[in-house]
Amino acid sequence: MPNQNRQSDKSFKGKRNSKKRYVTYRRAQKNKALSQPKTKESVSIAFLGGMNEIGKNMTLYEYKNDMFIVDCGLAFPNADLPGVDLVIPDFSYVEKNADKIKGVIVTHGHEDHIGGLAYLLKKINVPIYATKLTVGLIRGKLEEHGLLAKTKLVEIKPRDNITLGSFNIEFIHVNHSIPDAVGVAIRCPAGVIIQTGDFKIDTTPVDGDMIDLPRFAEFGKKGVLALLSDSTNAERPGYTASEKSVGESFELLFRKAKNKRIVVATFASNIHRVQQIIDVANSRGRKVAVIGRSLENLVSVGSELGYLNVPQGILIDINLIKNYADDKLVIITTGSQGEPMSALTKMAFGEHRKVSLTPNDYVIVSATPIPGNEKMVGNVVNELMKHDIEVIYEKMYDVHVSGHACQEELKLMMGLVKPKYFIPVHGEQKHLQKHANLARAMGINPENIYIGNIGDKIRLSNDELKVEESVTAGEVYVDGLGVGDVGNIVLNDRKRLSKDGIIIVVATIDSENGYVVSGPDLVSRGFVYVRENEELMSSARDLACRIIDESYDNKYRDWNSVKTKLRDEISRLMYEKTKRNPMILPILMEI
């Protein structure tokens, strides 16, 4: 009997183990079926921004008649775009396919990912999917543009899944310099595509919520068709430091400030940084005032949604700072990038209406200059130091850490995801190339690595990566209330005006006999100082008078040809005398 029982037990255990193996096998097959295409299905990706540039991130996914967008950001203008306020993506391709767009996924709340949304929603009305804080920041922008009431905002959480047509999108938590940042795993019949969004791997994040590496690894085990990964810090070796290290530096610097008033300039969107400044200020018995519209909005939204813990009574209005001694104050301000109209720049040059800096101020610039902004930041630091103000900036102490992954973190992401195809995104050409080199070092087939450009459209299948026709994409300039009405012609005129100035030629002519009744008068702006160049201006005036006399015809009054001749001849004279090319603007009036 005992032997029979043991035999029965073995038989039962064998059946049970066999059943377990069968269930495990079926689950594996099901997971494999979800992640791997059964047929040679393909998915298209169009890059509408964020390639070969910093900012303006926008990617469009397309499968048959279904499309959706990941992010819609802006970029800030450089010195080559005088007068331009913002740069947004060209939405022509999106407008052309408006009926196919199922929604917009937003990975986090930075301007280079949400700044273009209001302008997009004026063209097409689609749902927006984002995490709680990101939705809060988007809501403020849409309210400014009068779009909030008619826009559908859907709040999601990490590990949530949504379906947009043929696409199923899962949100994966990542660390960044703003809370509630996510990457996305995109399932479709062609396979799984992972787009990281902006990320870093912070093992000691300020909010205590580490990047969801296990979920990335799970997708890697099942099979990932393509990985689109943040390239911003691809040139930097090692790992990005934890945001918590900045808090420790603030502790040290606040002690060193002693009895001075502390002014901290930081990115308006870095809520973790603002939290640490408030925490240290509170521990040192200092009140905090916030300057800058975007920073004030972040503090308001962050406090309201519970992402910012502000002790009762610590925040004061900027108009009340005169009521407090210097050693009882911390001012948090915008302007860490040296922007000409920012609060810190105005303070440095003595132009701020509410804050005047003195040698008893201790200024901390808690940011790294964005590529291209180094000179502007340097100008602000130099101006502050001219007035004997002590300035602490990024290279002196650990007052800033990046929100983007360095090389070892980027390699770890590739190692976990194990993509068939790799596409570096979010960076200039040097960043994309460095990231591609890392992918090759990780063993990804060089033929499966694609470095794209804005306007490129590629088609991915399990068998090939194919470059399709380019789509309409590029830059649209926002200037005041105008969107897209400033183009190359206007910008070239602005550059020429800023470089060589303008001469306006004004004359009034008798319509009956062709005599010059008044003028020609010459007005110079940005060219020469008239009082010191009277001989030159007199020669130009005589030349203008002669051209008008010679060109006037009672029968055929072709004012355009007269203006063209005035423009050409006066321009030639000015170049001969000064080797400059001012803009010549003739104005002729008949009476």
Q: Which two tokens stand for residue 237?
A: 């070796």
Known active-site residue 80: no
Q: How crowded is residue 480: how many other Cβ atoms within 10 Å of its Cβ? A: 10
Query: What is the DSSP code (8-state) at residue 36?
Result: S
End-to-end alpha carbon distance in the chain = 129
- The residues near 494 (Cβ < 8 Å, ≥ 6 apart) are 82, 83
Phi and psi at 492, nearest 5°, equal -65, -40
Task: List the helix and strand counts (H, then E) for the chain.
Answer: 16, 26
Q: In what order do the strands lie in the sheet with 475-479?
A: 86-89, 475-479, 482-483
- Which are the contacts of 563, defined by CB distance < 8 A and separation ≥ 6? 586, 588
How far is it, in rounded angstroms, from Cα 73 to Cα 71?
Answer: 6
- Structure tokens, 37: 């295409």
* Cα–Cα dist 122/484, whole Å: 13
Question: Diameter of the chain by CA atoms?
Answer: 136
CA atoms within 13 A on the CB side of 550: 10
- Contact, 363 vs 389, CB < 8 A? yes
Residue of 404, 426, 431, 435 marked active site: 404
Report which DSSP code applies to 297. Answer: H
User: Cβ neighbours of residue 162 under 8 Å, at least 6 residues apart?
Assistant: 103, 129, 154, 156, 168, 169
The conformation of residue 324, written as its DSSP 8-state character, comes to S
Q: What 3-state class would DSSP assign to 210?
A: coil
Of the CA atoms within 13 Å of residue 395, those in its CB half-sphere come to: 5
CA distance 365 to 327: 19
Give the whole-angstrom CA distance, residue 313 versus residue 321: 14
For 76-105, give one letter per residue: b (16+ CB within 10 A) or e.
bbeeebbebbbbbbbbebbeebeebbbbbb
Q: ω into residue 237 within 30 of 0, thus cis?
A: no
Least Cα distance to 410 among 386, 444, 360, 366 occurs for 444
Q: Select which of 90, 212, 230, 479 is catalytic.
A: 230
Supply φ then ψ for residue 251, to 5 degrees: -55, -50
Sheet holding 261-266, edge to edge: 315-316, 287-291, 329-333, 261-266, 361-366, 390-393
Q: Residues, the chain, total?
A: 591
Tokens describing residue 194: 């992972």
Per the CB < 8 A criterion, the answer to whether 338 and 373 are in contact is yes
Q: Which residues pair with 195 in a beta bridge?
A: 184, 228
Q: Is the dihedral of CA 124, 172, 453, 54 positive or negative?
A: positive
**404 catalytically annotated:** yes
Whole-angstrom Cα distance, residue 280 to residue 285?
9
**Which two structure tokens, joined as six digits, stand for 224?**
């990932």
Q: How do 191-195 and 182-188 pair as beta strands?
A: antiparallel
Q: What residues act catalytically?
A: 230, 404
